[in-house]
Amino acid sequence: MHVLILKNVPGEGPGTIEDFLRENGIGYEVADLQGGRFPSGDGADALVLMGGPMSVNEEDLYPYLTREIALARDFMTRGRKVLGVCLGAQIMAKALGARVYRGPEKEIGWYDIELQEEGVRDPLMRRLAVHPRAGDFWKKFKVFHWHGETFDLPAGALWLAKSELFPHQAFRYGGNAYAFQFHIEVRKEMVYEWLKDEEVEMARLATETETFYNDYHGRAVNFYRGFFLSDKVNGTGGDQ
């Protein structure tokens, strides 16, 4: 397998996704799109779309977004593996014809997501929901958020998870494409680095990060194992 990772801004890299790929001997390329080169995607078995502070609707300011949307659409319509994180999820939604827009307020910090009916049935969301130490299944659990925009559920997509502020936290398209509004990829130090200039209560953030991070990382690794190490995410590659 070879994974193509598209990085929209230098400060939002693949984090624990890259750690997992390296530790498991999976080939990958990280393309910094602000560096001026846009990869073709040829030879990639999976596409990972990272976050960024811009809006997916700002194609006039960030022309590479147009090509990124097109590449995401190509991978999804061919049934190839795609994982979109935050802006990456919004790119996937727009590529599938859904509206992307500003949410009611920013969602920053550690907040619950709750699996919906399709999320409970989905094999990889179940991996994410199983507590990495206790081994029990949690329908609602903490994830790390840093976003202000949201999207409508694309036609043909399965609604996997919601949060109190943003109903569309995760969706799956076909058998192999997953869009997450939350940041599954964060390393602990990334949380502190990203939010040092945000208007958040740092003492509370630090307490919550130290409380929740290790289990969250374990959930992420469980998801990565299913996504990257299996030939097809959902058996035949179709909806289940």
- Residue 191 resides in a domain: yes
The CATH number that applies at residue 87 is: 3.40.50.880
Q: Find the domain containing 109 and state its range.
A: 2-229
Q: Which of 46, 92, 91, 83 is CA-nearest to residue 220? A: 83
Give the amino acid at 68: E
Counting the structural domains of the chain, the total is 1
Is 240 among the domain residues?
A: no
Residue 31 lies in a domain: yes
Distance CA 163, CA 114 (A): 6
Please indicate, yes or no, if residue 182 is contained in any of the structural domains.
Answer: yes
**Residue 232, pLDDT score:** 62
CB burial of residue 125 (10 Å; 0-12, 13-18, 19+): buried
In a domain, 35, yes or no: yes
Tell me which amino acid residue 101 is: Y
Name the residue among 19, 22, 79 with its Cα closest to residue 47: 79
Q: Is residue 238 part of a domain?
A: no
In a domain, 235, yes or no: no
Residue 100, beta-bridge partner list: 151
pTM as predicted: 0.94
* pLDDT per 10-residue tile (average), the chain, 240 residues: 96 96 97 90 96 96 96 97 98 98 92 98 97 95 95 98 96 98 96 81 89 97 96 50
Domain membership of residue 214 (yes or no) is yes
- φ/ψ of residue 37, rounded to 5: -110, 130
Q: Is the Cβ–Cβ distance between 55 and 100 less than 8 Å?
A: yes
Distance, in Å, from the CA atom of 48 to the CA atom of 179, rounded to the nearest integer, reads 10
